[in-house]
Amino acid sequence: MKGIWTHRTVLLNEAITALQINPDGHYIDATFGRGGHSRLLLSQLSAQGRLTAFDKDTDAIAEAQAIDDPRFSIRHQGFMHLDQIEQGSVAGVLLDLGVSSPQIDNPVRGFSFRNEGPLDMRMDTTRGQSAAEWLQDASVEAMTEVIRDFGEERFAGLVAKAIERHRQEHGPLRTTAELAKVVATAVKTREPGKDPATRTFQALRIFINAELDELQQALAASLKVLEPGGRLVVISFHSLEDRIVKQFIAAHSREVYDRRTPFAAPKTMELKALGRIKPSEEEVAGNPRARSAVMRVAERIGEAA
C-alpha cells in the first residue's frame, strides 16, 4: 500500500522566500518529510549551492534517496544533530515541525485515532520505545504529567486513571482504537469538531519522540551553524512548539546585561526577528491541516557562535 498517502507542504513558497536564497549557499532542511521544501529550494541553487536534509523517518529517507542531485544529501537523524554541521557555514535553516500527512494517514504508524493501527507513534521506527510499550508500565502520575504538559489536557488525571483501569481489567493497550476509546470515557467535553482523543494523542507523540527537547537543541544549534545574515525559518503547528520558537527568537533578539557586572558590555544580539506568517485563507481551504501553522523568521546577526 506504499505511496497512497500524499502530503501537501504547508507554507511552501512563503518558507523558501523567507530564506532569501543565495544560489551559492549551503542550506539545511531539518525536516525533509516528503521533500516539498527541499525540492523547491534545490531549484533555486546554483551548481555551487548545497542542501543538507535531516529526517528520522525511514519512509522520508527512502523518498529523499530518490533525489539524484550532487548538491543534495540526506541524514537519517533528528534535527538535534544540527550541531554536527560546520559552525558559521550555513546560509539558512528551515524547520517544518509536526507530523506529515503520510505519517498521520498511514494506520501502521499509530499517530492517528481515526484509523485503527498499532499504538506506535515513533518518528523513527528503528529505535526507541513505542507508545504502547511506555503505556504498559507508566505510572498514573507519569501519564498524568505527560498528557497534561504535552497535550494541555485538563482531564489528564482522568485519562491516566482510565488507562490504568483498562490495564487492570483488560491488559495493556495495543492499538490506536483502544486508546481512543479509553480516552473518550474520561474526556466528557471537547471543543467543537475535536475528537476527545486529540490532546492525548498529541501528548504521547511529543513525549515518545522528545519533540520539544529536540526543538530546543536544534534552535540552539542553529545559532552556531548560521553565518551572519543567515535565515532561521520555523513552521510550528501547536502552541507548545510556537511558544518555544517565539521565546527563543525573543531571547536572542535583545542585548543582555549581566547584573553582577553592571559596567560590563552587554551580550550582543544574535538574531533579528523578522516576523510571523500564517497560511492564507486559500491555502487553508485547500489543505485544512495548514490551519494551525505559524511560521516565524529570524536573521543571524554578528559573528557565528
At residue 2, the pLDDT reads 44
Q: Can you tell me the mean pLDDT for 27-35?
A: 93
Domains and CATH numbers, the chain: 12-101+211-300 (3.40.50.150), 126-208 (1.10.150.170)
Nearest to 300 by CA among 202, 241, 229: 229
* Phi-psi domain of 275 (left: phi exceeds 0; alpha: psi -120 through 50; beta: other): left
Q: What is the pLDDT of residues 70-118, one digit of tens each?
A: 999 999 998 989 999 999 999 999 999 977 766 776 787 878 888 899 9
**What is the spatial distance between Cα 206 and Cα 251, in angstroms, rounded to a whole number?**
24
Strands 90-96 vs 226-236: parallel, antiparallel or unpaired:
parallel
**What is the spatial distance between Cα 51 and Cα 72, in angstroms, rounded to a whole number?**
5
Q: Where are the beta strands (DSSP E) in the chain?
A: 26-29, 50-54, 72-75, 90-96, 226-236, 271-277, 294-300
Between residues 241 and 268, which one has the greater pLDDT? 241
Q: What is the pLDDT of residues 140-159, one digit of tens each?
A: 999 999 999 999 999 999 99
In percent, how much of the chain has pLDDT > 70? Answer: 91
Q: What is the pLDDT of residues 202-241, one digit of tens each?
A: 999 999 999 999 999 999 999 999 999 999 999 999 999 9
At residue 267, the pLDDT reads 62
Q: What's the pTM value of the predicted model, to 2 decimals?
A: 0.89
At residue 48, the pLDDT reads 97
